Amino acid sequence: MFEKRLERPYRVRFDEAGPDGQLRAAGFLRFAQDLAWIHSESAGFGREWYSARGLTWLVRAIELDVLQNVEYGNSVEVSTEVIGFRRVWARRRSEFRPGQGELVGVAITDWVLLNANGRPVRPPQEILDVFGSEAAFGEFTPMRMEPPTVPAEASPREFRPRRSELDPMAHVNNAAYLDYMDEQFLGLDRIRHGLPVPRRYRAEFLFSAEAGAKVVGRGWADGTVWNYELRTDERELFRARLEADSSAWVGG
């Protein structure tokens, strides 16, 4: 039986925790993304259904609140539900709880539907009949971020995405970008101490990085906000902001 709001338990695996022993921000997104596909499949819209119609959903923006740490080996109850449609967009909300406990994380994800030519298209009526039409939800504005002005003192970090970071769509998975951002934020001197909680990520995914291509990440602090941009020589790929206690990076 199809459920409008689906819940599943996830155990934090060894490789999903950072050197501090806590679930990485990327892990929250991976859980949310996996459950979103399980939800779609449970309604009859699996990858084969989309492939036959030349359609695919891509994550374009996220807002993730990490409210408490989740230790390696612990389980977290993850939920997903569609909370809005707007033309070519769909918005999902995911919540993370340790069993019946209080929230440890919340993710809002904006997805856009593309056709075989990579152009945004409206969802087929079959999807709207199951998950709800635009009229069934309140209005929402797709999340956008202003193009950043990168200061001269922002230190660059050059690297090449690996094949192991590609997902079944042959894209660098969107969760990997949060790992890139966190790695640059932490640096080697404090990577074992982890990131502060609570913290909020806001991010927009502009283009997918290709495995083996040279990319450059730049991060810089602005008061209580840590900014990050990832780009190639030709174009910007990803822009994001991390909001937390400024003492986590200012003078740290």
| DSSP assigned state of 68 | S
Domain 155-248 has CATH 3.30.70.60: no
For residue 190, pLDDT over 60 is answered with no
Per-residue burial over 49-84, b if 16 or more Cβ lie within 10 Å, else e, is bbeeeebbbbbbbbbbbbeebbebebebbbbbbbbb
- Mean pLDDT, residues 150-155: 91
- pTM, two decimal places: 0.93
Fold match, 5-136 / 155-248: yes
- Which candidate, 141, 180, 175, 140, places its Cα nearest to that of 160? 180
| Whole-number pLDDT of residue 129 | 94
Q: Which of 132, 169, 131 is closest to 44 using CA atoms?
A: 131
Taking the domains of the chain in order of start, what are their residue ranges? Answer: 5-136, 155-248
Q: CA–CA separation, 144 vs 164, rounded Å? A: 29
- Fold category of 5-136 in CATH: Thiol Ester Dehydrase; Chain A (3.10.129)
Residues 200-248 have pLDDT tens digits of 999 999 999 989 999 999 999 887 899 999 999 999 999 999 998 655 4
Phi-psi group of 53: left, alpha or beta (phi > 0 → left; psi -120 to 50 → alpha; rest → beta): alpha
**CA-CA distance, 186 to 200, in Å (whole number)?**
15
Structure tokens belonging to residue 186? 């932490």
Confidence of residue 139 (pLDDT cuts 50, 70, 90): confident
pLDDT bracket for residue 135 (50, 70, 90)? confident
Residue 249 banded pLDDT, cuts 50, 70, 90: very low
Least confident residue range of 9-18, 136-145, 180-189:
180-189
Q: Is the pLDDT of residue 17 over 80?
A: yes
Does residue 188 surpass a pLDDT of 90? Answer: no
Q: What pLDDT is attached to residue 185? A: 84
